[in-house]
Amino acid sequence: MDNSEHRLQEVFFYGLYMDPEILTNKGVTPRNPRIATVKGYKLRIGKLATLLRDEKSQASGIIYSLTHHEIDKLYKGSGLVAYVPESLSATTENNVTLSVLCCNLLIQPTTDESNPEYLEKLTTCMKKYNVPIF
pLDDT tens-place string over residues 72-95: 999 887 778 889 999 999 999 999
Q: What is the pLDDT of residues 100-133, one digit of tens each?
A: 999 999 888 999 999 999 999 999 999 999 999 8
Predicted pLDDT of residue 78? 78
Instruction: Write the DSSP symbol of residue 19.
Output: -
Q: Where are the alpha helices (DSSP H) in the chain?
A: 20-25, 68-75, 116-128
pLDDT tens by residue, 17-29: 999 999 999 999 9
Domain at 9-124: CATH code: 3.10.490.10
DSSP string for residues in 53-89: EEEEEEEEEEEEEE-HHHHHHHHTTTT-TTEEEEEEE
Global confidence as pTM:
0.93
Domain boundary assignment for the chain: 9-124
φ, ψ for residue 8 (rounded to 5)?
Answer: -100, 145
Burial tier of 11 (Cβ tally within 10 Å: 0-12, 13-18, 19+):
buried
Give CA–CA dist 11/74, Å, rounded.
Answer: 12
